[in-house]
């Protein structure tokens, strides 16, 4: 047995061998299956990228058309899931609603046929197709409205915005949203992917795999950071307040949301693409004062923390884009989940291909040989 030193957060410790994505944190490089993220963001679509991640190669035109068709025809959610969601408290966080709904899907497909490629493909299609419908349905139902049925004439991104806003989106908005999904689809061994792989390694069903990953993504140090970025920009309120706000936070040794990354020590390449997309949106739909605040924040944080390798991460600009698309702040993380399902499923498949159950060890630092004290003597 190899014994290595304990590292909090398992920093630098490989948890799997993977050919799905690659990050060079010093160069600011991200590849999915060897293809640069910038190229995918420019030329691909989310569903094509999901196919690439999950099956390892770009699909042919026929393969892509068949895949898109399958996803399109599985978008509706079962009425029992919808009824269950209706009974969720409207004050609940949409990530909790999504986690419960994804897990509930497993109740309908209890048979685990993990050696069967048809079972695998069905689960992939069903999860990619229904997660956006669940997110949109919860959003409408918590407002007291009925969910909108998916529109088969619209592609993946446009249909989600349609189900959410009850009207067809502007084509630029839909394309930009699709690119956001590409950017968030996969990112090596992050916390939620690790969680997905640990769950997958027990050979449970893919719905439990996705539900556990959704739960992990929700925290403010992971996917939840994009919501906190918007709250922070609102709290700052003006460009003049940026510097005192940051100085105050740093004095309190608090983290600035949307900055820093375990792997990237330069600006996250996804943040650069998102910043560009935000600018396109502002050019078409009008400027946003929060963008000016964000740019000033980037300048001040770089000045104060650049020497530690702290730069904007993916969450810093994604919130600004979603806000401009009219998406409520507490849906930002569920949208991250819609995209990341592709990565989780790719890791689920990869884990199954060479599975060994995760069972790490620990460094015990507790006591030994303590006598049991009777309750009346404590
Ligand atoms: N603001 C201020 N200081 C920071 C920040 C930040 N956002 N991030 C890291 N640092 C400092 C930290 O204080 C520490 O300084 P020192 O060495 O002097 O004690 C040093 O940088 C290393 O920080 P760490 O917390 O040990 O780094 P980590 O690799 O454990 O954490 C992180 C990475 C992303 C959790 C952290 O940077 C953070 O909390 N950022 C804010 C939350 C955020 O934006 N999260 C989204 C992450 S990207 C998307 C995702 O993975 O979901």
**Ligand 1 centroid from CA 262, angstroms:** 7
Give 297-349 pLDDT, tens digit per residue: 999 999 999 999 999 998 899 988 999 999 999 999 999 999 999 999 999 99
Query: How many percent of the chain have pLDDT more than 70?
Result: 99
Catalytic residue among 187, 261, 268, 347: 261
Nearest atom (ligand 1) to Cα of 191: 51
Out of 178, 205, 268, 315, which one is annotated catalytic?
315
- Residue 210 has what pLDDT? 98
* 248 in active site: no
Task: Give residue 39's pLDDT.
Answer: 98
Rounded to an integer, what distance in angstroms lies between the CA atom of residue 270 and that of residue 43?
Answer: 15
Our mutation pick for probing the ligand 1 site, out of 216, 251, 252, 255, counting the most ligand atoms within 8 A of Cβ, is 255
Q: Quote the pLDDT of residue 301.
A: 96
Confidence of residue 224 (pLDDT cuts 50, 70, 90): confident
Report the distance separating Cα 225 and Cα 232, nearest Å.
10
Output the pLDDT for position 344.
98
pTM, to two decimals: 0.93
Ligand 1 center to residue 255 CA distance, Å?
Answer: 7
Q: What is the dihedral angle through the alpha carbons of 123, 351, 67, 115, rounded to the nearest 10 degrees? A: -60
Residue 191's contacts (CB-CB under 8 Å, 6 or more residues apart) are 216, 217, 219, 221, 222
In the chain the domains, ranked by start, together with CATH numbers, are 225-324 (1.10.230.10)
Is 222 a catalytic site residue? no
Residue nearest to atom 36 of ligand 1 (CA): 260
Residue 65 confidence (pLDDT): 98
Query: Rounded to the nearest whole angstrom, what is the distance from the C-alpha of residue 260 to the centroid of ligand 1?
Result: 5
pLDDT exceeds cutoff 60 at 222: yes
How many A from CA of 337 to the centre of ligand 1? 21
Is residue 167 scored above 80 in pLDDT?
yes
pLDDT-derived band at 1, boundaries 50, 70, 90: low
Please tell me the predicted confidence (pLDDT) of residue 2: 61
């Amino acid at each position: 047995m190899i014994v290595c030193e304990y590292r909090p957060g398992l920093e630098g410790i490989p948890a799997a061998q993977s050919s799905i994505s690659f990050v060079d944190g010093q160069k600011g490089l991200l590849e999915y299956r060897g293809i640069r993220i910038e190229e995918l963001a420019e030329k691909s679509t989310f569903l094509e990228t999901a196919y690439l991640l999950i099956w390892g190669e770009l699909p042919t035109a026929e393969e892509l058309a068949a895949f898109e068709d399958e996803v399109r025809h599985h978008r509706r959610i079962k009425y029992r899931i919808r009824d269950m969601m209706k009974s969720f408290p409207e004050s609940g966080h949409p990530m909790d609603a999504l986690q419960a709904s994804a897990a509930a899907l497993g109740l309908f497909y209890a048979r685990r046929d993990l050696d069967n490629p048809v079972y695998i493909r069905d689960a992939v299609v069903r999860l990619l197709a229904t997660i956006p419908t669940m997110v949109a349905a919860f959003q409408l139902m918590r407002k007291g409205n009925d969910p909108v049925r998916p529109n088969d004439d619209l592609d993946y991104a446009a249909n989600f915005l349609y189900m959410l806003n009850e009207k067809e989106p502007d084509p630029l908005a839909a394309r930009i949203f699709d690119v956001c999904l590409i950017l968030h689809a996969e990112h090596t061994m992050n916390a939620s992917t690790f969680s997905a792989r640990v769950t997958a390694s027990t050979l449970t069903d893919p719905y439990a795999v996705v539900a556990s990953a959704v739960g992990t993504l929700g925290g403010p140090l992971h996917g939840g950071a994009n919501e906190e970025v918007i709250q922070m920009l609102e709290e700052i309120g003006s460009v003049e307040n940026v510097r005192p706000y940051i100085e105050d936070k740093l004095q309190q040794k608090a983290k600035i949301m949307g900055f820093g990354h375990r792997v990237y020590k330069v600006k996250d390449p996804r943040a650069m693409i998102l910043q560009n997309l935000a600018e396109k949106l502002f050019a078409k739909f009008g400027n946003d004062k929060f963008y000016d605040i964000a740019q000033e924040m980037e300048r001040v944080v770089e000045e104060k923390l650049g020497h530690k390798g702290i730069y904007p991460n993916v969450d810093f600009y994604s919130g600004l884009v979603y806000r401009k698309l009219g998406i409520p702040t507490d849906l930002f993380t569920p949208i991250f989940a819609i995209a990341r399902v592709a990565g989780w499923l790719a890791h689920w498949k990869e884990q199954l291909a060479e599975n060994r159950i995760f069972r790490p060890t620990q460094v015990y630092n507790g006591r030994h040989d303590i006598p049991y004290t009777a309750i009346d003597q404590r």
